[in-house]
Amino acid sequence: MKYKLQRIFYHLKRYGILKTIKKMMNRMIKLDKRNRKSNQELYQNWILQNEPNETELELQKGDKFALQPKISIVVPMYNPDENLFLELLNSLLLQTYSNWELCLADGSEEKNDTIFALCSRNSKIKYQFLDGNKGISENTNEALKMVTGDFIAFLDHDDCLPRFALYEVVKEINKNSDVELIYSDEDKMDEKGNRFEPYFKPDFSPETLECNNYITHLVVLKKELVKRIGMLDSRFDGAQDFDYLLRATENTTKIVHISKILYHWRTTKNSTANVAQSKLYAYEAGLRAVEEHLNRIHKKAKVENPEEVPGIYQIKFEIKGTPKVSILIPNKDNQRTLKKCITSILKNSTYENYEILIIENNSENPKTFEYYKKLQENPKIKVLMCQEKEFNYSKLINFGVKNTTGDFILQLNNDTQILTKNWLELLIGYAQNKEIGAVGGRLYYPDKSIQHAGIAIGIQGMAANLLVNLPFGKHGYYAREAATRNVAALTGACLFARREIYEEIGGMDEDLFKVAFNDVDFCLKILEKGYRVVYNPYVELIHSESKTRGLEDTPEKKARFEQEKKNFQEKWKAFLQKGDPYYNKNFSCEDCNFTIKS
């Protein structure tokens, strides 16, 4: 309650009484609307607005693509429910794209005469009754031996595809003729055919995939890629698809994500789609799949299952050498706040080769300088005097980078407190990988609700922290707050990168983004250079937010903020128009909570 009152006072000072009341009313109206419309209602709305109707489906049948590849649909079987299998078969027979074949390898205890008869009557279907159940991987491999298509799609024996699934896949192949791996969004379907829980995924995200099989279904691979990676490995049964995807992505960069629901994952009482605890062995197999993946790409790391969310793994990379970390903390007075920050670093840092550089900027309280003097008795701590008349965060950070020799630079706000003992090891582990440009952590408000779980671009036309105010212990959309993920940007309150990254992209922008959006701009410049940005939820901090710069409570500050907002929209216009690759286009940009666009 105390924190909520502080936020109200903050808005009163920043925006005034009328604007604050308007903001509160708008929020109440949005919450009321959202309460009236459940996620399920929003999704049913989305289906009506985004999926083809009967007329459009008929038109699809008449489309003639320049490339008309044969899609081989591979299905391993074991004692399938007859009715559910018939639904699967019907979903294929109704496809608006017709150049496909179905390859079935049946390891059931007994041959189902009805299924056998149906398969025998259709020339598109290849059916083999196996000599006993060989397990899901080997059954799939038997089906793979039958394929004659140009691309191979994987399907479970009780799931099904929407009628336009293969059409959309082939449409994408015609747009990207060299594509080798295609995946789509998906949802769940109960035994009555009701659809729910859509999974709208990011574009290809290597670090996300290493920690969680977010791709799952629908997966379509080019035959040449399948030849390169070989068959499924039965050592990973339960997570054989995860292992296969990791191997596939090691062997191609030609990956396309279709932001449409092209797969219905059936939920039954005992399915992994419905009950996470039903196949605990699958999570152990998944952990081993990640371990072997890291070995293949020559990265030394320990893989753990923290069990916060089953199937989401933590990777702890082995640190190469003992690189030096320079922690840059801009400060103006705020002695009490700074003390909490410094104390938390000294108390919780198990990594020893670091230095703390306080970038002093226009402090006025004599006690602040007395505190600086005491701090510098510790050889790890220095105070850099930066005599800037105005607060220019970007300039302060650039000044700090120039005046230190660390291999890694950490931007850290003075109003943060470190909660994780091995936080520096976790940050270094990811940032030392040359393909990674920046790493950040999970930040909480003082009440432990989420303040930052990565940043999405395009929220309300700008950028915003994800899952803000999510209560501690609660999970957001598919537990995104608890998963290591690729994101477009991170907050400068805890932003970690190699020194060479600053040198390559020219540091922080001192002219266009003196106070606001400099962290987002910095991250987008990193993406522009071809690096990736990683959110690591296991690095946890408290962040009281914006105490260094103070409130936007003067006409000058408000004018500066509006100008920097305009600068951002102009500079990153193309990125904003294209959309954040890590925040699916089917999410609303009205908030930052992965709300389905209605």
Beta strands at 485-486 and 381-385: parallel, antiparallel or unpaired: unpaired
Closest CA to 370 of 338, 397, 392, 399: 338
Q: Examine residue 556 and state whether it is found in any structural domain, yes or no.
A: yes
Q: Examine residue 36 and state whether it is found in any structural domain, yes or no.
A: no
Closest CA to 412 of 561, 551, 543: 543
pLDDT tens digits, 23-52: 566 555 554 444 446 888 999 999 999 999
Residue 16, Cβ neighbours under 10 Å: how many?
12
DSSP state of 180: -
Using the 3D structure, point to which of 247, 275, 303 is the last residue of a domain.
Answer: 275
Per cent of the chain over pLDDT 70 is: 91
Average the pLDDT over 280-295 and give the result.
Answer: 95
Q: Are 243 and 167 in contact (CB under 8 A)?
A: no
Joined together, the tokens standing for residue 370 give 């007395």
Strand partners, 302: 316
Q: Are 101 and 147 in contact (CB under 8 A)?
A: yes
Q: Examine residue 292 and state whether it is found in any structural domain, yes or no.
A: no
Joined together, the tokens standing for residue 524 give 């987008």
Q: Are residues 188 and 323 in the same domain?
A: no
Q: What is the mean pLDDT of the chain?
A: 91
Strand partners, 495: 411, 440
What pLDDT sits at residue 307? 77
Domain of residue 259, residue span = 61-275
Using the 3D structure, point to which of 275, 291, 307 is the last residue of a domain.
Answer: 275
Beta strands at 151-154 and 219-222: parallel, antiparallel or unpaired: antiparallel
Q: Examine residue 28 and state whether it is found in any structural domain, yes or no.
A: no
- Cis omega (within 30 of 0) on the bond before 67? no
CATH of the domain at 405: 3.90.550.10
Q: Are residues 329 and 219 in the same domain?
A: no
Q: Examine residue 283 and state whether it is found in any structural domain, yes or no.
A: no
Does the pLDDT at position 351 exceed 90? yes
Q: Are residues 324 and 180 in the same domain?
A: no
Distance, in Å, from the CA atom of 371 to the CA atom of 364, rounded to the nearest integer, reads 13
What pLDDT sits at residue 554? 76
What is the number of alpha carbons within 13 Å of residue 222 lying toward its C-beta? Answer: 18
Q: Examine residue 4 and state whether it is found in any structural domain, yes or no.
A: no
CA distances from 269 to 191, 274, 278 (A): 10, 7, 9
Distance, in Å, from the CA atom of 512 to the CA atom of 253, rounded to the nearest integer, reads 35
Q: Are 298 and 371 in contact (CB under 8 A)?
A: no
Q: Examine residue 46 and state whether it is found in any structural domain, yes or no.
A: no
Q: Are residues 235 and 331 in the same domain?
A: no
Q: Examine residue 164 and state whether it is found in any structural domain, yes or no.
A: yes
Distance, in Å, from the CA atom of 360 to the CA atom of 396, rounded to the nearest integer, reads 9
User: For tokens 């390169």, what's the residue?
Assistant: 228
The amino acid sitting at 561 is F
What's the pLDDT band for 388 if we cut at 50, 70, 90?
A: confident
Q: CB-based burial of residue 202 (10 Å sphere; 0-12 exposed, 13-18 middle, 19+ buried)?
A: buried
Average the pLDDT over 348-358 and give the result.
Answer: 97
Closest CA to 393 of 289, 303, 493, 466: 493
Q: Are residues 431 and 555 in the same domain?
A: yes
Rg (CA), the chain: 27
Does the pLDDT at position 270 exceed 60? no
Domain count, the chain: 2
Q: Are 263 and 234 in contact (CB under 8 A)?
A: no
Tell whether the torsion through CA atoms of 264, 453, 557 and 574 is positive or negative.
Answer: negative
Q: Any idea what the Cα angle at residue 339 is, between residues 533 and 360, rounded to 5°?
A: 70
The amino acid sitting at 428 is I
What's the pLDDT band for 549 if we cut at 50, 70, 90?
A: very low
Contacts of 445 (CB under 8 A, 6+ apart): 3, 451, 469, 542, 543, 544, 545
Distance, in Å, from the CA atom of 262 to the CA atom of 551, rounded to the nearest integer, reads 47
> What is the Cα 403 distance to its own chain's centre?
34
Q: Are residues 116 and 247 in the same domain?
A: yes
pLDDT tens digits, 255-267: 999 999 999 999 8
Q: Measured in Å, how far apart are the chain's first and last C-alpha atoms?
A: 32
Q: Is 176 left (phi over 0), alpha (psi -120 to 50) or beta?
A: beta
Q: Are residues 438 and 337 in the same domain?
A: yes
